[in-house]
Amino acid sequence: MPKTKTYAQPPLEFLPPKFNPLVLRLSQTFMPLWMAWKTPIADIQIEQGDRIIELFQQFQASKIRFLLAFRHPNPNDPIALSQVFWRRIPALAKSQGVSLQDPVHFHFIYDRGIPLWAGNFVTWLFPQLGGSSILRGTIDRPGLKSARHLFVNGRFPIAAAPEGATNGHNQLISPLEPGIAQMAFWCVEDLHKLQRPETVLIVPLGVQYSYVKDNWKALESLLTEMETDCGLSTSNHEPVFEHLYPRLINLGNYLLNLMENLYRQFYHQNIPQSSDQQDLPERLHSLLDIALKVSESYFGIQPIGDLTSRCRRLEQAGWEYIYRENLKSPEDLSAVDLGLANRLAEEASLRMWHMRLVESFVAVTGEYIKQNPSFDRFADTVIIIWTAIARLKGVNPNKTPNLGKQLVKTRVGEPIAVSPRWASYRSSRRQAIADLTQDLQIALEELIV
C-alpha cells in the first residue's frame, strides 16, 4: 500500500504551453545523454521518414495542418520520439538536400496527471517545450480549447497518443479514444470559419520496442524474484521458453486466486470459486470488473463503458476529492474542515488503488504470448505482472526492471485526410468520429511487425 499520506490540495490547474526556444535547444543537447543514462534504448530507427519530411515542407508552406497520432507502448516514448524528430528527420532531410525550417518540433498533448508523479521539473519542462495539458475523464474546457487552438494556429504540428495511456504491449494496440478524431474535425471546422485553405491530416506513427538480445537468463531471474515475493517455490531448469511459460502461468493463477480471495473476503464480493484449469482471460476480466466496482461503489459511479473509460472516470472522481475547489483559499477553512478534507483525500487515494491495479492489466488478453511465443512478448507480459506485484507490495511501480538493451522502430503510416470527411461529419458527427477512429486504429495496427 502507499507509504505516504495524501493531503487535500488546491484544484489541478491547466498547464498552458509556453514554448521557449532556449529550453528546446538545451533539451536537444542533453536528451541523448539522458537517454543513455536513464533508459535501455540502444538505437532508434525511422521508416518512411520521407513522409514526415514532405509533411513538414507542406506544413511550413501553410498548405496543411496535421496531427501526429503515435503509438504509446512505453513511458520512454517521449524520449525516443524526441530523437526521431530532433535528430533523425533533420539529418535525413539534409542528406536529401531538403531544407526544413528549424526546429523540427511538435506541440504535444499530455495527461495532466503526469507531472503529479514525474515531479516539479516535468511540470515546468513540458509547457516550455510547447506541451499542453489535458485532464482525462472529464470535460477539460481550458485543455480542449488550448489543443484546438494549437492544431489550427500552433507554430508546429501537434502530437498526441490516441490510446490515451501506455499499455505495455509492443505488438497490441488498445482501443483508441475518440478525442483525436474530434480534434481533427474541429480543426477542419475552424479553418472553414477562418476561410483558410489548409488540408487537415492525421498521421499514424507506429512505435515498437524490441530487445537487441533475447536475454532469457535475465527474464528467468525476474520471474524467480516475483515467485519469491509471492511465496512460491522456484525451479532451476534451463531458462528457455518451454520451462518459463508454465511458471508464468502458475504465477498468474496464484495472483488471480489471491486477489479473488481478497475481494471475496474483505470487500464482500460474490466471486465463484475457480480452479486453475478455468479460462484465465475470462477470470482476469471478471476480476478487473470487480476491482473497479469496489472503487465505483465508493465514489457513487455507475459501471458504464469499457475498462479504460471506467478507469478514467474513477481517476477524475478521486482527484475531485483530493484537489478541492474550496482549497483555492485554504486560509478560509477551519482546522476541523481542513482535517476532514485531508481524511477524504487520503481515503480517496486508497480507493483509487484498485483502479491503478486495473490499469496495469487493462490491455492484457491472456492470449498475447500464445499467439506469438517470442521473447519480446514474454518480456512485455512479465513486466506488466511485475508492475502489479510492485503495487501490491507498495513499492514504486515506475522503476521498471531492465531486461537488456532495446531497439526502437518508428514507422510513419499513410496520412489520413480528414478534410474530405467534412460533409460526413456535418451529417452525422458521432458516426464520422467513429469511422475516423476506426480507420486510425486499423492504420496503427498495420504498422506493427
DSSP for 91-114, written as a single string: HHHHHTT---PSP---EEEEETTH
**Lowest mean pLDDT segment, chosen from 39-43, 189-193, 368-372:** 368-372
Q: Which among 242, 253, 210 has a CA at the least distance from the CA of 373?
A: 242
**pLDDT per residue as tens digits for the range 31-45:** 999 999 999 999 999
Residue 4 has pLDDT above 60, yes or no: no
Identify residue 392 by its one-letter amino acid code: L
CB 57 within 8 A of CB 76: no
Which of 388, 382, 420, 387 has its CA nearest to residue 403? Answer: 382
User: Please, are residues 443 and 203 in contact by the beta-carbon 8 Å criterion?
Assistant: no
- In this structure, of 234-243, 280-289, 337-346, 403-412, the range with the lowest mean pLDDT score is 234-243
Q: What pLDDT score does 24 carry? A: 98
260 has pLDDT over 60: yes
Residue 236 pLDDT exceeds 80 = no
Q: For 65-72, what is the mean pLDDT?
A: 97
Closest CA to 45 of 74, 80, 77, 76: 80
Give 89: exposed, middle or buried? Use CB within 10 Å, 0-12, 13-18, 19+: buried
Q: Which residues of the chain are in CATH 3.40.1130.10 domains?
A: 21-212+406-445
pLDDT at 2: 41
Q: Determine the pLDDT at residue 1.
A: 38
User: Are the CB atoms for 44 and 205 separated by under 8 Å?
Assistant: no
Residue 345 CA: distances (Å) to CA of 21, 119, 324: 39, 19, 9
Question: Out of 195-209, 274-288, 352-366, which region has the weakest mean confidence (pLDDT)?
Answer: 274-288
pLDDT of residue 401: 93
Residue 48 has pLDDT above 50, yes or no: yes
Q: pLDDT over 90 for what percent of the chain?
A: 82
Mention every residue, 6+ apart, whose C-beta is less than 8 A from residue 169.
73, 363, 368, 380
Q: Please, what CATH class does the domain formed by 21-212+406-445 belong to?
A: alpha beta
Q: What is the mean pLDDT of residues 226-233?
A: 94
Rounded to whole angstroms, what are the CA distances from 228 to 192, 233, 255, 306, 397? Answer: 62, 7, 13, 34, 17
pLDDT tens-digit series, residues 382-433 = 999 999 999 999 898 888 999 999 999 999 999 999 999 999 999 999 999 9
Residue 367 has pLDDT above 90, yes or no: no
Looking at 362-404, list the stretches that DSSP marks H as alpha helix, in order from N- to C-terminal side. Answer: 368-371, 375-393
pLDDT of residue 130: 98
Q: What is the C-alpha R_g of the chain? A: 23
The mean pLDDT value of the chain amounts to 93
pLDDT value at 111 more than 70: yes
Confidence of residue 6 (pLDDT cuts 50, 70, 90): confident
Helices in 241-374 by DSSP H: which ranges?
241-265, 280-299, 307-322, 335-361, 368-371
Spatial distance between the Cα atoms of 153 and 331, rounded to a whole number of angstroms: 40
pLDDT for residue 282: 86
> Side chain identity at 282, as an amino acid letter?
E
Is residue 109 exposed (0-12), middle (13-18) or buried (19+ Cβ within 10 Å)? buried
Instruction: Find out whether 311 and 359 touch, Cβ atoms under 8 Å.
Output: yes
Please, which residues bridge with residue 44 across strands? 408
- Average pLDDT (90-101) is 96
Rounded distance between C-alpha atoms, residue 32 and residue 118, angstroms: 19
Is residue 205 a contact partner of residue 413, using CB atoms and an 8 Å limit? yes
- The set of cell numbers assigned to 273 is 470459486
With contact defined as beta carbons under 8 Å apart, do 380 and 167 qualify?
A: no
**66 SS3 class:** strand
